[in-house]
Structure 1
Amino acid sequence: MRIFGLEFRFTDSLWYACWIAAFLIIAAVILNRKLRRVDPMAKPKGIQNLLEYAVSALDNFAVGTMGPVGHKFSAFYGSMFLYILLCNLSGLFVWFRISPAESKVWIEFMRPPTADLAVTLSLALITFFMTQGFGLKAKGLKGWLKGFTEPVTLLTPINLIGEVANPISLSFRLMGNVLAGTIIMALYYGMLPMLAYIISPALHFYFDVFAGVLQSFIFVMLSMIYVSGAME
């Protein structure tokens, strides 16, 4: 697709990102309808107990990171954490590709959407605009502009570069870590096909599960720090 002479491509990573977003939306609607039928006076159990614990943990984490204002952002950043986490963990999913002509079956791992800069930069830009928007709302136009000149006016260019660098560092940090794990696993399967399915569970646990959870946590925590810092 070409717009104003520029070519835009809807890659597989963007498709996967949309599928994961659709899955979370459908799951939220189903759980919401299920919880509406629960007696509010009854003792929580099952999925309700798990969800209440998760919501409470996310709310406490947001307040601990952002201060009292974190209550307003816990739902948003909780959703962002779940979305990034599922995108990172999607590298565990496999596709079966069949070639009847060659009588062969290939197993291909799904490429995580967060291994694509287009996805991670979009998430980082959300944080960037939230940082500037809430900073402007909290300080007013004069106070917001004055913040770029502190502590001395001479540092204004550096402060501006620092603000622009935040979304760049956020996007490249997330993409780089996820993409690195994907490349390492691809090389491993290519060089050691006979041993791949014996040792690979431990490597998948580290590169997909451990690193995926850790990078989701870091991205959300830094986003909270940037937004709360702009509102001080």
Structure 2
Amino acid sequence: MEGGFGPEIIFTIPGTDIPVTETVTNTWIIMAILILFSFLATRKFAHKPKGLQNFVELLVDGIYKFTAQTMGEDKVAFAPYIGTLMIYLIFANLAGLFAIRPPTADLNTTMGLALITFFMIHFFAIKRKGVGTYLKGFLDPFPALLVINIIGELATPISLSFRLFGNIVGGLIIMNLLYGGLAALSGSIGLPIPILQAAIPAPLHIYFDVFAGVLQSFIFAMLTMVFVSIAMD
């Protein structure tokens, strides 16, 4: 979507009509940062950790404990995915602090992540319970609820994606409107530099980009763990 508050098209792949938007390029930037950090943080691991290695080990240990506490010790193998998901979402949601459009302000990104969760729910439910028991679950607590149970399952990726997308794009819209209003106000009172835009938005950035961004990353990862765990139990 071009214009308005949608992601702009940065370029078109040569020889095709395939557009590459801000969402894709900013995701590439975040991926490059995380890959570079992973390489630098793990290339010189020592038997006695110090410095950056201490932070990395603390982070990994925390993710594994968090996953085990939420999903159970028997599902701790999900920790690498949950950790990757949470770290990516935190970086993506905080991108606005660096004047980069958050990839999660694009419904394509949030729906893609929600669909991964959706397929994980049903794949691991079938793997753990078997096809027969899995299908029988749609008839609980009684067969008349079959349609409602199916609709409820299909609503999961929709609710997951729109919750994250709505919170991030809502903050983006509010901040854009605020900057626009402050720019007009600065011009109307004859300020030579847009000083109002430099000072006033700072507290709102702390809320919309830092607090809400980190909180929504946590909520998305937590709901993913809860949904998958419930489906498997």
- Over the residues paired in the alignment, what is the CA RMSD in angstroms? 1.5
1:1-232 alignment runs, 5 A limit: 9-35=19-45, 38=46, 40=47, 42=48, 44-93=49-98, 109-193=99-183, 194=186, 195-232=196-233
Distance 1:13 1:178 in 2: 13
List gaps (5 residues or longer) in structure 1: 2-6, 94-108
2-structure distance, mates of 1:8, 1:167: 26
Tell me, in whole angstroms, the C-alpha distance in 2 between the residues paired with 1:53 and 1:110.
29
Structure 1 match to 2:6: none
Distance 2:229 2:149 in 1: 17
- Unaligned regions of 5+ residues in structure 2, if any? 1-11, 187-195
Distance 1:147 1:21 in 2: 38
CA distance in 1, matches of 2:68, 2:202: 36
Q: Distance in 1 between matches of 2:19 and 2:151?
A: 30
Q: Is 1:63–1:70's contact at 8 Å kept on the other side of the alignment?
A: yes
String of CA shifts for 1:148-194, please: whole Å, max 9, x gaps.
Answer: 11111111111111111111101000000000000000011111134
Residue identity over aligned pairs, in percent, reads 49
Give the Cα separation in 2 of the matches to 1:181 and 1:69. 38
- Equivalent residue of 1:110, what SS? coil
- Output the amino acid matched with 1:231: M
Aligned residues: 207
Which amino acid in 2 is paired with 1:217? Answer: F
CA contact (8 A) 1:88 1:114 kept: yes
Once structures 1 and 2 are overlaid, which stretch shifts more, 24-33 or 205-214?
A: 24-33
Preserved contact between residue 120 and residue 228 of structure 2 (Cα < 8 Å):
yes
Q: 1:161 and 1:218 mapped to 2: Cα distance?
A: 22
TM-score (norm 2): 0.85
Cα shift at 1:23: 2.2
Could you give the per-residue CA deviations for residues 114-162 of structure 1, whole angstroms, max 9, x where no partner exists?
0000001111111011111100000001011111111111111111111
1:101 maps to none
Post-superposition CA distance 1:67-116 (Å, at most 9, x none): 113321111101110001100000111xxxxxxxxxxxxxxx32110000
Retained in 1: the 8 A contact 2:42–2:53?
Answer: no
How far off its partner does 1:8 sit? Answer: 5.8
